[in-house]
Structure formats: structure tokens, C-alpha cells
A = this chain, B = another copy of it.
Amino acid sequence: MRILVIGAAGMVGRKLVERLAREGRLGSEPISQVSLVDVGAPEPPRDAPFAVDTMVADLAEPGVADQIVAARPDVVFHLAAVVSGEAEADLEKGYRVNLDAMRMLLDAIRERDGGYRPRFVCTSSIAVFGPPFPDVIDDDHLTTPATSYGTQKAMTELLLSDYSRRGFLDGIAIRLPTIVVRPGRPNLAASSFFSSIIREPLNGQEAVLPVPTDVRHWFASPRSAVGFLLHAGTLDTGLLGDRRCLNMPGVSATVADEIEALRRVGGAEAVRRIRHEPDETIMRIVSGWPRAFDARRARDLGFRADADFDEIVQVYVEDELEAPALSP
């Protein structure tokens, strides 16, 4: 089985490739080749039991999509995206990367002849939903994105569904919760603090909390995100019918829940490293985000998330602090 990972240098992409290298197979199929593509140099996994090639390329450039599907991979994981904040700041870049590049990829697959019809897994986002929200969002909630990023994701979901219905590919889009605890440094995303307030205290550093502790949001660990991708790569898509976009399961937790989970792992000392510093802008942005989902369809299809926020913190400890060598 040949696998193509686009966006392989990103956090989730790296972890997916590491997991593929550890397992050597996808479902019951041994992997013979993995191709890694990103705009920055993707790092090949160590000791992979399959051939690995890497390519630095911008999928939105003419010809690139054709080139990377020429080897007819059996499974494509498309993870590359301009994130929410950047898509809002740079309209043209957001549409170019999040919509046009994916469309070029889907068209390159469609234009292959000889009945080529790969499994195509892409990451969408709960940003396809916009306020007002019910307390718990169900699988039939309409998509009214409140950002350009969410708009681009919702548009690509529609395209993926249409191309799947027409038999050009076997697509599935998974709407990821906010992924925490992200390893590394804080970034400029409005959601950055959800990771920072766990990660920094566990690393002996101070973290800033810009919102009240009763703010509730929808989370999954990076390990769960990789699990979602692997499951989407292997499940029987006949069970999806014509609805190929799925809300992923996750953990609905408040910032207070996060802090209590931190206390159980890092003690009162870790919690004291969180400094409350209200930020009106971040509070306003976060107030427009979903708080919880009933992801019944995905659960019934076998997608599994973390049990609670304690498990999310535990995953961070195990994957980043106890085995950091696996996550450069």
C-alpha cells in the first residue's frame, strides 16, 4: 500500500507519519511506500519499515498536484492548510491554499485514468459551524461558518462530497476538535492558551490565561487526531452514505476542568504558574466557538476520542515529556 501525506511537516502530519512508521501497516495492509509533501521540508521518520520519499512543494502551484498523484497512492491524507488566524488576515492566501490547492488535488485525481479511485482523507474543522450554537451540536447542524477559514473548509467539504458521489475518489472529511496539548511554543492562534496553560506549567514556565475559567470548548489530543485519521483511512465508507463529512468525538471541558486536570498531574505548584490576564479580543473570539458536540455518527462508525481532560494531559505527558525523542 502506498500512502501520500500532504502537510507532512505540520504537528499532526509528523505524528501521523511517526505512527505509520511504528506500525508499518494501515489497517491490515502492509505499507510499502510513504510520500511526504509540505511547503517546508518534511522530516522522514526514523527506522521506517517502508520506503519514504519527501518533496518540498506548494500544492497550489500549477502542475504540482499532477506530479504528486502520478504514483497513484492508495490513500491520500490531505492535512495542509492555512490556519484560521492567517486565513482571516490574508484572504487570498487562505482561499488559494485551503480551497484552490485542494481542488487542484481532487481534479488531478479525477483526471487520472484507469479507474483510479483512492481513499482521500482530509481534515476539516468545527470552524464550519458558526453562532448561535445550541449547548450541544448534533450531526445535523447546519454549516454557517463565521470565519474565512471555516468557509474554505465548508466549501472543500462540499467538493469532496460531490467528487465522491461521482466516483472520482473515496473521500472522507473529519472535523477536528481543537487539538490540545500542542507541543512546542505558544503561537498567535486565539486558541493557543488552551495548550499553553497545561504545557508551560508542566515545563516550569508561566502561562497566561486570557479568558474566564468557565469558558467551555471542544478538545481532542494529538494522539486522538492521529487515531481519527488512521480510522478514516480504513473504515468502510459504504457506511457513510452520501454524507462524507463527520464531526469527530472529543472532550467538552471548561478552562476550570483543564486547570483541575493540571493540578492532578502537576500539583498546586503547576497551577500557580497560570496568570489570569483578561484579553477582550480573545474573549470575544472564543465566545463564538462551539462548546460541545454529540458526535454520534462518528462514534457509531468507530471513531474514539480521549475519555476526559485528564487523559488529554496524560497523553501530553507520555508523548512529549516522557518520550520527547519521538516528537521532534
Contact = CB atoms under 8 A, between A and B. Distances in A.
Given A155-B158, A159-B151, A242 B144 contact: yes
Contact of A162 (B145, B162, B243): B145
Interface string A30-68: 000000000000000000000000000000000000000
Nearest to A141: B142
B151 A158 contact: yes
Given A130-B242, A140-B142, A159 B155 contact: yes
A152 to B, nearest CB: 8
Interface string A213-244: 00000000000000000000000000000110
Q: How many copies of this kind of chain does the complex include?
A: 2
A91 B159 CA distance: 12
Interface size class of A (residues with CB under 8 A): 20 to 34
Contacts of A158: 143, 145, 151, 154-155, 158
B162 A151 contact: yes
Contact of A166 (B145, B148, B166): B148
A148 to B, nearest CB: 5
Contacts of A91: 166
26 contacts: A91-B166, A130-B242, A140-B142, A141-B142, A142-B142, A142-B143, A143-B143, A143-B158, A144-B161, A144-B242, A144-B243, A145-B158, A145-B161, A145-B162, A146-B165, A146-B242, A148-B162, A148-B166, A151-B158, A151-B159, A151-B161, A151-B162, A155-B155, A155-B158, A155-B159, A158-B158
